[in-house]
Structure 1
Amino acid sequence: MAVDTATAGAPSTGRLAPARAGRGRASGWLLLLPALVALTVFFVLPLLSVVVDSVTEPQTGLGNYASLFTDGYTLRVLGRTLLVALVVSLVGVLLAYPYAYAMTLVGPTMRAVLVTIVLVPFWTSMLARNFAWMILMQDEGVIQRMLRPFGFGDVTLLGSTLAVGISMTQVLLPFLVLPMYSAMDQIDRRLLAAAQSLGAPRARAFRRVYLPLSMPGVIAGVSLVFVLALGFYVTPALLGSTRNAMIAQVINVRAKELLDFGGAGAMGVFLLAVTLAVLGLSRRLAGQRLAAVAPGYQPARSHGKEGQPAQVRPWLKVHTVLVAILLVAPTLVVIPMSFSSGSTFQFPPDGWSLRWYERLFTSPQWTAAIFNSIQAGLFTAVLATVLGTTAALGVQRLAPRWRGAVTGFLLAPMIVPHILVGLVVFAAFLQAGLNGTLLGIILAHTAMAVPFVVIAVTARLQGMDARLPGVAASLGASPLSAFRRVTFPLLLPGILSGAVLAFVTSLDEVVIALFLQAPGAITLPVQMFNSVTIQIDPTISAASSLIVVLVSVPILLAQVISARRGKGR
């Protein structure tokens, strides 16, 4: 009772004494110091080094940047990359918007199923999904056989830009659905009913009311997908060809094979500039939309009469089913493939066997790759969780004028194109002697995973009552005891979420691991990539199936349990 009384009676806002406020801000900087140093050493300084190389190698000047627009080949690659990223974003919007809209109309159980269909490919290994598309698009594959009766003949997809675009659209579709659904979920559907009651037809009410309110989610999803598509490497490398190369492939060749860090750095810096421009523009557009259509808007959702699911039109049902098949089917291809008795990537298999699972767990190459991935993931999770948690606690204690800049610095590795991060790490670690070592992979993955921990812990901090530690102190608890008994238990779910995100980020990361690979430092994603590009090894189907099952089952159970709890309440 004493705690409740103190909490209720404490002022919601107030000024700390100057000395206490100064100590709090000083402790905030101390908590931030480890993360700031780590990101500076393993991310910022290498990035600056690549920027310097872009204007000094092979000679001082802007020759590398000039060649981007004067060299015919490079200009074609840049144009192709920008065009593919734009088309993938626009086609993705057309597929994702109705699906996200349907998620807001259905009941809790069906919504849990639709969310799971999005989350399973979201968390499933990108290599597994690209491998599935490679099987479907290969000569005499399922897609080619399906198109023959329609008079298309033997359409060759594998190795084309179209194949890259189709796979990238499916891989990036969850990044469009989730922000759109998040925005739509906050819209009060009674606004549509109000517009129709004033004489507006259903289509006009949707276009004039619902669509503008959902635009922040659309803008966020499109900008995110466009930025991610710019730095895609795995999909073009597996499904494309050198004739239709994208910029990430050219950067990889220039850096790893030609050691042309100046030219590769100029391409990477150009990608970074485009990324920052797109993110800045999207933030401005999203802010204008919010200010124009919903000033001070407080949502109060209503799915239908008495909270029942709203009606889903037949065309929307068909679209939702087709998008769900697009999201899930390619991933499920690898499961029957893993039981194939053949030594090729033929689908459906001619015979059945467990030989590839046996090889997965007995082959020295695969077992070493699995062990390296687990080891790298665990060390990355521990380091990133410690750095990210202390950084989030430190940001909370800073003066408001510093929080935005420091948070932006901590999240910087997330907005830099992945291929540029791989180039930065490769160039820096090559000089430091960390290239080709598991330690180098762990340090690079830690720098990439820290932002995810910061986001998870910060979200938890924002949901906490900041007065609780003060209440504990007023009852005689020391600062350490208040943190251990009050703050830490409340933060634990966010810390654990951040740790899981860090582990999964490391487990699925392939671009940096490809740059840093060596015979003793090959992770599971690298082994899977090599099993397709260097040697035809169907063991990748067993590895992919194992990842799909380990990811999809917990997500499905969590969604069903959450839906039942929500329905019960």
Structure 2
Amino acid sequence: MAVSTVAPEAPPTGRPGAAPAGRVRKSSGWLSLAPALLALVVLFVVPLASLVVDSFTEPETGLGNYASLFTDGYTVKVLGRTLLIALIVSVAGVLMAYPYAYAMTLVGPTMRAVLVTIVLVPFWTSMLARNFAWLVLLQDGGLVQKILTPFGLGDVRLLGTPLAVGISMTQVLLPFLVLPLYSSMSQIDGRLVAAGQSLGAPRARAFRRIYLPLSTPGVVAGMSLVFVLSLGFYVTPALLGSTRSAMIAQVINVRAKELLDFGGAGAMGIFLLIVTLLVLGLSRRLAGQNVAVAAAGGQPTRAGTTGGQGSSVRPWLRIHTTIVSVVLVAPTLVIFPMSFSAATTFQFPPDEWSLRWYENLFTSPEWTAAILNTIQVGVYVAVIATVLGTMAAFGLARLRPRWRGAVNGFLLSPMIVPHILVALVVFSAFLRLGLNGTLIGIILAHTAMALPFVVIAVTARLQGMDVRLPAVAASLGASPVSAFRRVTLPLVLPGILSGAVLAFVSSLDEVVIALFLQAPGAITLPVQMFNSITVQIDPTISAASSLMVVLVSVPILLAQLAGARRSKKGTR
């Protein structure tokens, strides 16, 4: 009886208090959502709307800024190059990721765990550190040129070309293809292809006519996600490309920061946003609702019948999987040896070994200040985003289904907007508010970007919880506060901790927004690393990259171990 009286959709029974309980539940949902919604409106929506207005009114009212995108020879060339590189990265990535993900569905549990770990290694490695590693590998006289020399290609210039940018972007975004593909493939019954073969179809035809169409949602989700992320890339083309092969994010940076042309920069950013929405809408139409699940990298239980022993993997698939594995972990294998090099240039493999760059990292006032700023910002972001995101997740659970989808989409919107546009929006707004060049500004901007991670983590935990448990505790005499503290909180705590870790890591590794908001007293470690490459050749970045890998990976590993330990206790 106690459970039915608090159900929000309960039919009228004549019992006093039944209907008000439902209304209280819904109103409390909106109250829990209010802080997060208000934060996104103030930090994201209002500045974005202001930038849209600037794109139509600066320097004069009209469509001039948008017309120049297609009439200015330079801008239209940059736009075309950006779209082409994004398309090439998406296609090249799926050609590498599809066989790898397919191999993950064939191997046994132990090897599958190894392959999953290899995919997650790039997530544990700082994005800036990976780009630095590719800079070292692709530079003139670097390891890649040495490998190509026996084939007569040793004189081919790589660094400073779109090829170098494409190689690094493909490696950085490869996990965003592997995980959706594996999520889609893991739901396919492996017996279907065998059934097609038993009916007389050759193996290749059975795979093409049965397996490939069933895995299409993962392909569409992964390619659309990678294409959208590629549009807003700034760090990779800035470090590995050149001004002659600039992408749109570099032009937006110059327009906004150097020329203060917010109208022209805003028009470019809005164009990227429109392309993003069109691509995501098209992918949703082609692949259906599975796109959202696949893009999140979910890993449902396999429907296959291998019994956990794995199926045979053909030699060509083993070779391909090995090559992709090497590509995924290559930057990490470069960063740590480089940090112990005694050379004053970027050299790999090192000829001599030394700890001088670690000494400089922890004794130089510039580097130590950047480290302290980064940790300080990350902690504040983790606390604020966790509180707001957890409240929002509980609020979502109390909303009617018709409102839940729209509100959830709004909360996750910072994740789908091109990163360079978010940086431009924040820079434009904070410049007027006097927050540019302050740690408070960076904290606020990072909080808006980290909030979706907390909402996703806590919501996923709430969806796996039996909603009747708090009501059962109340029926046994527990007060609402006691039921929350003794029942709900322990069950949701792993999701809250995971969200806090993700918020901390996302702030720790964020560089584009921090670059826009930097000032002498507000420089984070990623910004200092970026400047050490572009402004001065400082090998201290190799030690800083190793530190970033540790700072990013250790919290994630600890969160995973804590989650595994809690799960093990729960099964006892």
The match for 2:411 is: 410
What aligned pairs does 1:371-450 form with structure 2 within 5 A after superposition? 371-450=372-451
Cα distance 1:334–1:389, how it changes in 2: closer, same or farther (>3 A)?
same
Tell me which moved more, 147-156 or 430-439: 147-156
Report the counterpart of residue 227 of structure 1 in structure 2. 228
| Preserved CA contact (<8 Å) 1:144 1:155 | yes
Cα distance in structure 2, aligned partners of 1:131 and 1:317 = 29
Match of 2:90 in 1: 89
Cα–Cα, structure 1 residues 547 and 299, in superposed 2: closer, same or farther, change >3 Å? Answer: closer
Asked if 1:23 is matched to 2:21, the reply is: no
In structure 2, the residue matched to 1:475 is: 476
Task: State how 1:110-121 maps to structure 2 within 5 Å.
Answer: 110-121=111-122
Q: How far did 1:331 drift? A: 2.4
**For the residues of structure 2 that align with 1:192 and 1:12, how far apart are their CA atoms?**
46
SS in 2 for 1:307: coil
Q: Residue 502 of structure 2 corresponds to which residue in structure 1?
A: 501
- Aligned letter for 1:403? R
Contact in 2 for aligned 1:160/1:244 (Cα 8 Å):
yes
Any runs of at least 4 consecutive aligned residues in structure 1 with deviations exceeding 4 A, and if so which? Answer: 5-8, 10-16, 549-559
Which deviates the most, 492-501 or 327-336?
327-336
Residue 294 of structure 2 corresponds to: none
Q: Give the distance between the partners of 2:350 and 2:301, measured in 1 at CA.
A: 51
Equivalent-residue separation in structure 2 for 1:267 and 1:403 (angstroms): 32
Are 1:302 and 2:304 counterparts?
yes
- 5 Å matches for 1:333-372? 333-372=334-373
For 2:297, the equivalent position in structure 1 comes to none
Partner SS state of residue 243, structure 1:
helix
Unaligned runs of 5+ in 1: 291-297
Matches within 5 A, 1:48-197: 48-197=49-198
CA contact (8 A) 2:8 2:22 kept: no
Q: How much has 1:342 moved relative to structure 2? A: 1.0
Q: Residue 299 of structure 1: CA displacement?
A: 7.4
Return the offset for 1:18: 2.2
Structure 2 CA distance for partners of 1:410 and 1:201, relative to 1, 3 Å: same
Which residue does 1:547 correspond to in 2?
Answer: 548
SS in 1 for 2:244: coil
Amino acid at match of 2:46: L
Q: Tell me the residue number matched to 2:315.
A: 314
Q: Secondary structure at the match of 2:351?
A: coil
Hey, what does 1:294 align to over in structure 2? none
Please state if 1:37 is matched with 2:56.
no
Question: Is the 1:116–1:555 Cα contact (8 Å) retained in structure 2?
Answer: no
> Which moved further from structure 2: 204-213 or 23-32?
204-213
C-alpha contact 1:231 1:420 (8 A) present in aligned 2: yes
Q: Which residue of 2 is the match for residue 531 of structure 1?
A: 532
Q: Tell me the distance in 1 between the aligned counterparts of 2:222 and 2:367.
A: 36
| CA contact 2:501–2:555 (8 Å) conserved in 1 | no
Letter of the 2:304 partner, please give it. Answer: S
Structure 1 position 200, deviation (Å): 2.1
2: CA distance, partners of 1:552 / 1:499: 14
Which string of whole-angstrom CA distances, capped at 9 and with x for unpartnered residues, describes residues 462-512 of structure 1?
A: 111111111112112222221111111111011111000000000000000
Q: 1:299 to 1:236 in 2, by over 3 A?
A: closer
Give the direction of change, closer, same or farther, for the CA distance of 1:206–1:358 in structure 2 (3 Å limit). Answer: same
Residue 437 of structure 1: CA displacement?
0.3
Say if 1:215 and 1:289, in contact at 8 Å, map to a contact too.
Answer: no
Partner of 2:288: 287
Does the aligned pair in 2 maintain the 1:81–1:247 contact within 8 Å? yes
Q: Distance in 2 between matches of 1:42 and 1:354?
A: 42
Deviation string for 1:111-158 (max 9, x for gaps)? 111111111112311110000110011111111122222122411111
| 1:465 paired residue number | 466
CA 1:29/1:549 → structure 2, altered by over 3 Å: closer, same or farther?
A: closer
Report deviation, 1:375: 0.6
Matches of residues 198-277 of structure 1 in structure 2 within 5 Å? 198-277=199-278
Task: Decide which moves more: 65-74 or 146-155.
Answer: 146-155
**Residue matched to 1:325:** 326
Q: Is the 8 A contact 1:437 1:518 kept in 2?
A: yes
Q: Secondary structure at the match of 1:519?
A: coil
Change (3 A) 1:189 1:38: same
Cα drift, residue 555 of structure 1: 6.6
Is the 2:8–2:21 contact (alpha carbons within 8 Å) kept by the matching residues of 1?
Answer: no
Instruction: Name the CA distance, whole Å, in 1 between partners of 2:11 and 2:77.
Output: 59
**CA, structure 1 residues 152+185, in 2 after alignment: closer, same or farther (shift >3 Å)?**
same
For 1:562 and 1:312, the matched residues in 2 are separated by 30
- CA distance in structure 2 between the aligned counterparts of 1:46 and 1:498, rounded to whole angstroms: 26
User: How far apart are 1:108 and its partner, in Å?
Assistant: 1.6
Aligned residues: 555
CA contact (8 A) 1:426 1:516 kept: yes
Q: 1:11 to 1:203 in 2, by over 3 A?
A: farther
Structure 2 distance, partners of 1:506, 1:320, is 32
Local SS of the residue matching 2:215: helix
Deviates more, 1:151-160 or 1:362-371: 151-160
Equivalent residue, structure 2, for 1:293: none
Compare 143-152 and 389-398 and name the one that shifted more.
Answer: 143-152
Counterparts of 1:408 and 1:366, CA distance in 2: 39
Q: With structure 2 as the length reference, what TM-score do the two structures score?
A: 0.93
Contact 1:334 1:544 in 2 (8 A): yes
Coordinate RMSD, CA, aligned:
2.5
Deviation at 1:205, TM superposition (A): 1.8
State the AA in 1 paired with 2:390. Answer: T
Paired amino acid for 2:183: S
Contact 1:187 1:299 in 2 (8 A): no
Asked if the contact 2:129/2:335 (under 8 Å) is kept, the reply is: yes
Q: For 2:487, give the aligned amino acid.
A: V
Letter in 2 for 1:342: A
Any conservation in 2 of the 1:392–1:457 contact (CA below 8 Å)?
yes
Secondary structure in 1 matching 2:158: coil
Deviations 1:410-455 (A, max 9, x none): 1111111000000000000000010000000000000001011111
Amino acid at match of 1:116: T
Identity between Structure 1 and Structure 2 (%): 77
The AA in structure 2 aligned to 1:353 is S
Aligned-pair CA distance for 1:178: 0.8
Structure 2 stretches lacking a partner, 5+ long: 13-17, 292-299
AA at the equivalent of 1:302 = G
Task: Give the deviation of 1:243 after TM superposition.
Answer: 0.6
